[in-house]
Amino acid sequence: MKRTIRCIAVERQILTSQPVERQILASQLKSSMISSSTKSTLQRSTSLASMWREIQGSNDWNDLIKPLNPILREEIIRYGELVGACYKAFDLNPSSKRFLNCKYGKASMFQEVGMASTGYEITKYIYAAPGISMPTQQDDSGQSRWIGYVAVSTDDESKRIGRRDILVSFRGTATSTEWLANLMSSLAPARFDPTNQQPDVKVESGFLSLYTSDDSTCKFSQGSCREQLLKEVTRLINQYMGEELSVTLAGHSMGSSLAILFGYDLIELGLNRVYPSREIPVTVYSFGGPRVGNSNFKDRCNDLGLKVLRVVNTCDPITKLPGVIMNEGMRLIGGKYELPWSDSCYAHVGVELSLDFFKLENPKCVHDLDTYIRLLKYCSMIENVEKTEDSWYEKAKEMVARNKMIHVWPWQDAARQVGDLVQSLGF
């Protein structure tokens, strides 16, 4: 299920262009916004509270992606920014007492990162241990680290969005051992449900290790990432079971893999069922996420009703991993004859929302969460420009391609991280 929209990083271009060019760009964007204002007003007249189930994927986002529904776009941006808060709060200073932990306490974290009005209250921090030993790495090898948080919507926010939302937000890869976990392409059975282990349902072993490994020396948490999440989310479901509920899992890069694993785990165990006839919807918003498991894992997620919306940049190499060769395209011959190795083929889960960053000169931005969010904020006006002003569209495309994306945070520099990892391993 793949639908494509074309977006241009015009906002960045406005910031980096010369004054005259900036004025022209801003004028063109303003014009495109005015020409589509009537349509946008009509679309926005339907409130989020009245259609939150559709926004959470109850109909697999049919008729909401192309063109991109403005309410869905705002929700994607909102959840992306809640993931971005993890990056802002993560302490990567080896000399800090809170190294590999969150810089702030739960009560003040949103305020400290400039997001005091999120409408969510953090209930628990989540930690994960890679379960991978790297003797040459003294900074983070095998050590448990802060990976994200669990939060719940406030009363006022719950009224606005139409339900009580339990949110789990995961950051992406930031340390060498996490990059190594990303690069482990072998498949392993998930076996989350002891009564129905399904050995043919397999996931990437590095993600599985990060999700299930426990660091007994960690003073901030008890149990594996999986155990922490199941305990806290189950507690919140029991606390709010009398209300309309949703469980939303959002993550970037490696974090999106953990989000999908936890979503599958939660539904497989039946923990989202509060009554025999009532199931709490579980939705994943994945930003720049890799493949997580094999085709049987994908099929099982679909059967269970896990909803996954994958926001991807078509130029982002992380979204092509693992399974560059052994993927969905290698399962069948002629579209109907299954090959012997089909169980070993990786497959993406869910619906894809595809963005196009074009061929920017700085490759660091292709996996940058901040760039994903900025592009989504300008998708609606860019789509209109593409349809009505081809000459302007081509000019903007060429101008963007000539300029570099200059603002990239250290943890978003995928090329540097991978290079450091390879060097540390002696390859």
CA 407 from centroid of its chain's CA atoms:
20
Going by C-alpha positions, the residue among 106, 120, 102 that lies closest to residue 248 is 120
| Cβ neighbours around 317 below 10 Å, total | 15
For 99-126, give one letter per residue: b (16+ CB within 10 A) or e: ebbbbbeeeebbeebebeebbbebbbbb
Give the 3-state secondary structure of residue 152: strand
CA 258 from centroid of its chain's CA atoms:
9
Can you tell me which residue has the tokens 């448990």?
Answer: 144
Quick one: angle between helices 19-35 and 37-44, nearest 10?
60
DSSP 352: E
Cite the active site residues: 253, 316, 367
Residues in Cβ contact with 224 at an 8 Å cutoff, skipping those fewer than 6 apart: 128, 129, 211, 212, 213, 214
CA distance 221 to 275: 31
CA distance 251 to 257: 8
CA distance 413 to 324: 21
Give the 3-state secondary structure of residue 294: strand
Concatenated DSSP letters of 48-107 = HHHHHHHHTTTTTTTTTTTTTPHHHHHHHHHHHHHHHHHHHHB---TTSTTTTSBSS-TT
Please report the sign of the dihedral spanned by the C-alpha atoms of residue 286, residue 289, residue 294, residue 295. Answer: positive
| Cα 127 to Cα 209, 258, 385, distances in angstroms | 13, 12, 44
